[in-house]
Each structure stands twice: as C-alpha cells, then as structure tokens.
Structure 1
Amino acid sequence: MRTSAVAATATATAALLLPLTPSAAHAVGNPAITKVVVNKGKNIVVGPTTTTEFSAQITATHTAGVATAWVQLWHGASDESADRWLTAPPQCTTSGQATTCTMNFQVTADTRDMTNVVSNAQAGTWHIYAYAHGKDGAYTRVDNYATTKVQRASKLTANAAPEPVKKGKNITVTGTLSRANWNTHKWAGYAGQKAKLQFRPKNSSTYTTLKTLTTSSTGKLSTTVKATADGYYRYTFTGTSTTPAATAPGDYINVT
C-alpha cells in the first residue's frame, strides 16, 4: 500500500456504527472488532484552505485483552494501492475485555501541509480500514469495514432586489452556488446543479418552493418573481456525493 501526500479532506458521513458478524469480523481466537465510528457518523467536509479536524473510534474485544487498535481511511481501487490517511498513535482505554481506541485526523487541501492533503479527484467515497492487535499477538484486520464520504465544502448566496418593491411588481433573486476547489485552494462556481428558490412570509416559519433552477457554468442563479407580500427569499441545494447540501440565508423584501 502507499501513503499519499495528496490524500483527502474533512468535517463530516453516515453513522458508522456497523458491527460485523463474527465470521466477517475475526477468526476464532482473534480479536473481534465490534464498532467503528468516524467523525461522529457525519460526512467529512473540507474547505479550500482550512484544516479539517475529526476523530475516529474503534472498539475491539479479545479474551487475552487488546493491546491496541486503529483505523485508517483510504481511497482508490484497492487497499493495497490506495491513497491513505494516517494519524498519530491511537489513545486507548479498556473496560473489561473491550478496548476503545481514538485517533485524531487532520486533513487539508493546502499543499504546504504534507499531512493528509486532498485533491479534487479524491472527493466522494472513502473506505475504512480497521485493525485490532491482541496482547497475545493475535490480530484482526478488515480492509473495508465500511465507507464514508469526503466532500468539497459548499456555500450558497441569495439576494432579492429591488427593495422596497410595490406589490405585484417583479423582483429578481440572484445567487451563487460555490464549492471548494482543492486543486486551486479557492472557491469555485458549481455548474449544472439544481437549486430551489423558496419564499417564507414575514410572520411564518415555513418556506415554500416557488421554482427550481439550474446553475450556470459559473454557478450563478437568477430568476424573477412577482412580489406578493413581505418575506424572505432563499436558494437551497440538496447536495451531491462529492458536495454537501447548502442553503442561503433568507433575504428580506419589504412589499409596499
């Protein structure tokens, strides 16, 4: 296997509380890996320049006791040829025959930092490698215990104008959907994505979808609607496998 200096990113995917069956988890007499949790079960989201920090926990049991256990995250066609995220040695605590070990990860797109650096091609599904080593020398390794998502951070804006506006007149709602470009370390427009325009009346807590738009080649959104009442306009994006959902703050319009 190889360790990549250009490897991946972070802040959050599915609840990785996925116990294995005894036959899949370990051979008879070897440690049993009973639980793995990565980033509290959330997707790992990484921005264009900042460092994302998250932890992973692995729990294992063994009749002879567990000396240590750890997880690594890897991306690629197979575990043996993968890009891999590494951490400092795990910190472990034991209760009875069960030992839980915690590892703290740091991931960034900044190539000046040679620890777990990500590139755009690595956004999406990552695999979780799990390992437990018994005090008697027996060990268990699971190359693909579960999967998690590593995503390019996203943001969305909305602006409604003119304001104030006469009732029945048109207003234009513009916005931009952007996501982190890990190769250039900047925000970039996210093209060809569906976003919903929503409206919430002034005294309501509920948004209603007015229409669905597709972002331009630069991630731009623009449409016109008739002003009917005081309230808030926003855009919302449901996300993709490589990019998390985003919702713009509501922009208030005063209708006279």
Structure 2
Amino acid sequence: MRKRMTFVVLATATAAGVGALTAPAAQADGFGDTTISSTTVTSKDVVVGTTKAKTFTVAVTATDNSGIKGAQIYVDGPSYGYLDATGPAKCVASATDAHTSTCTASFTVDPRVDFIDNDPAGTWYANVLVDANDDDYMNTEKAASFTVRRAAKLTVNASPEPVRKGRTITVTGALTRANWETAAYAGYTVQPVTLEFRKKNSSTYTAVKTVKSAAAGALKTTVTAVEDGYFRWNFAGTGTTGPVKSTADFVDVQ
C-alpha cells in the first residue's frame, strides 16, 4: 500500500545538518499584543495499531485586543513524524470576552499511510501560529506535548483447569506490539510484565510477580493454587509502546 510522507520538516532538518533533527527547546515569537493562554491535546497518548486510524484534536486559546482571526496548527514528532490538520482550525469567540477565542483543529494519524517504519513513535509536539484581526500574531513552537505510541497486545492462559489446591498452576502468554513497517504485530522481548490475580468474588486485582518477556514476547511463570480466581498479565508500557492488560483466565481450584 502506498504511504504518504510529508517532507517539510525533514527537508529543513537535512539542509541544516543531522543535528537539526533534534527538537529545539520551546520558543515563541510574535508581533503586537496577541497572547496564547493555553494549548491542549485531547488525547495525551495516541496509541496506534497496524490498521485503524486515530483522530485527535488540538485546541488553542488566544487573546488580542482586536479579536482572533484564525490559527494554523501542525504536529510533529521523532524522525519524519509530521501531520497537518485535516482542515482549517475553527475559532470560536468566548461568550464573556470577544477578544478571546479558542481555535480547534482535528488530526488523523493512519499507520497504513503516515508511517513507513517505527521511528516516529515517542514524544510529539503541537506547534501553533495565531493571527489577530489587526495582523498581530503569536507563533509558538512545542506549545504542547503528547505521545504517539505503538499498540500492544497480551494473551494469557492458566492451566491446568480445574486444579487441586496446593498444586502448581502454569500461566503463559505473549506480549506483542504493532510494527508499522510490516503492518503486523511482533513479539516484544525483555519487557517487564506483571502477573495479577483477582479472587472469584472480588473486583480488585493484586500483583503476584513480574517476569520479563522472552523470545517472540513469550511469558511463562508458575504459582501455587490457593483459591478460585482470575489471572491476567499487565504491561505498563514504554515511551514508544502503549500499556495493555490481557483478558482474564479463570481457574477453578478444588
């Protein structure tokens, strides 16, 4: 499938040298009395799988004594990561202050179109240019941060079922994560994953032990059968991979 790539940021960085690929510290410049009071991303953690597009919005609240005319917003991240808004930002004036408006832009990230590999996973930033009616403006780079992470999956199986009290239960599973280059899920190795247990008539899980995923993301450990209940695996996530919990597997202890 053909993948779309936006080269604006990458081309600029290449012209300036490899070091330019590192995001600069937050900075702003402008003209006149335009100010930006807040920039928020609706989803601070955009977790993307291999096929489904994810949509999120960025909202910017700004003030100028002449009122706000419009805003341009784009987001960028590691490597070639870059997204333009799906359409012009929509600005709505405050009901209590005509000088202040909130401008909102929508973004869609599609792993089948926007990513050719896994390099863009990590911290992303929203960048904002606000224009006032009197031609004043405020431009802020890295106005807000959020993450774009690879989705993960977890499986679980506890056996034997049923089991006699005091015998050994073996709990297995696998941790995999989205590979944007191959559009498939692959094993995520050497990652700490916690086995949790919930008693049959309880709604609370407690940690039993933590193990590290092996080849192909395989998980395996043993516990002693004590009482009826549910086992699941819990992965907290990393800077590039989202968190995930497996479904629960019930074990009947006799």
Q: Distance in 2 between matches of 1:45 and 1:175?
A: 22
Shift of 1:41: 4.5
CA distance in 2, matches of 1:76, 1:230: 47
Q: State the 1:28 CA deviation.
A: 6.5
RMSD (CA atoms): 2.0
Q: Tell me, yes or no, if the aligned pair for 2:228 and 2:251 is still in contact at 8 Å.
A: yes
Asked if the contact 1:108/1:118 (under 8 Å) is kept, the reply is: no
Look up the match of 2:76: 74
Distance in 1 separating the partners of 2:55 and 2:187: 25
Task: Compute the displacement of 1:84 (Å).
Answer: 2.0
Matched residues, number = 229
Match status 1:99 vs 2:101? yes
Equivalent position amino acid for 2:204 in 1: T
Report the equivalent of 2:88: 89
Deviation at 1:29, TM superposition (A): 2.1
Residues 31 and 136, structure 2, Cα contact 8 Å, conserved in 1: no
Residue 65 of structure 1 corresponds to 67
Matches within 5 A, 1:16-55: 27=30, 29-38=32-41, 40-55=42-57
1:60-95 superposed Cα distances (whole Å, 9 cap, x missing partner): 110111110132111248xxxx64210111112112
Task: Say if 1:44 and 1:149, in contact at 8 Å, map to a contact too.
Answer: yes
Higher mean displacement: 237-246 or 198-207: 198-207
SS state of the match for residue 119, structure 2?
helix
Mapping for residues 149-160 of structure 1, pairs under 5 Å = 149-160=147-158
Q: Which runs of 5+ in 2 are unaligned?
A: 1-6, 11-25
1:180 pairs, out of 142, 167, 178, with 178
Deviates more, 1:55-64 or 1:201-210: 201-210
Do the aligned partners of 2:30 and 2:136 also contact (CA within 8 Å) in 1?
A: no
- TM-score, normalisation: structure 2: 0.84
CA distance, structure 2, for counterparts of residue 54 and residue 110 of structure 1 = 17
Task: Find the residue that maps to 2:215 and give its secondary structure.
Answer: coil
Cα distance in 2, alignment partners of residues 228 and 76 from structure 1: 48
Structure 1 residues 215-256: Cα deviation after superposition (integer angstroms, max 9, x where no partner): 012111011212111001111111111112111122100011
Contact 1:190–1:215 (Cα < 8 Å) also in 2? yes
* Aligned position for 2:251: 253
Q: Conserved in 1, the CA contact under 8 Å of 2:157 and 2:249?
A: yes
Counterpart CA distance in 2 for 1:66 and 1:117 is 34
Match of 1:210 in 2: 208
Distance 1:153 1:164, change over 3 A: same
Cα 1:92–1:28 shift into 2, 3 Å: closer
**1:164 alignment partner, SS class:** coil
**Quick one: which amino acid aligns to residue 162 of structure 1?**
P
Partner of 2:8: 2
Q: Deviations over 1:15-51 (max 9, x none)?
A: xxxxx9xxx766562311111111x252111111111
**TM-score of the two chains, using structure 1 as the length reference:** 0.83
The residue that corresponds to 1:193 in the other structure is 191
User: Distance in 2 between the 1:131 and 1:217 partners?
Assistant: 47
Question: How far apart in 2 are the matches of 1:119 and 1:144?
Answer: 24
Q: Is the 8 A contact 1:107 1:118 kept in 2?
A: no
Instruction: Read off the aligned partner of 2:40 and give its amino acid letter.
Output: V
Measured against aligned partners, the alpha-carbon deviations of 1:96-150 in whole angstroms (never above 9, x if no partner) come to 1111111111111103xxxx44630110011221110011112111122232111
Q: For 1:188, give the aligned amino acid.
A: A
What code does the residue aligned with 2:183 have?
H
Does structure 2 conserve the Cα–Cα contact (< 8 Å) formed by 1:75 and 1:127? Answer: yes
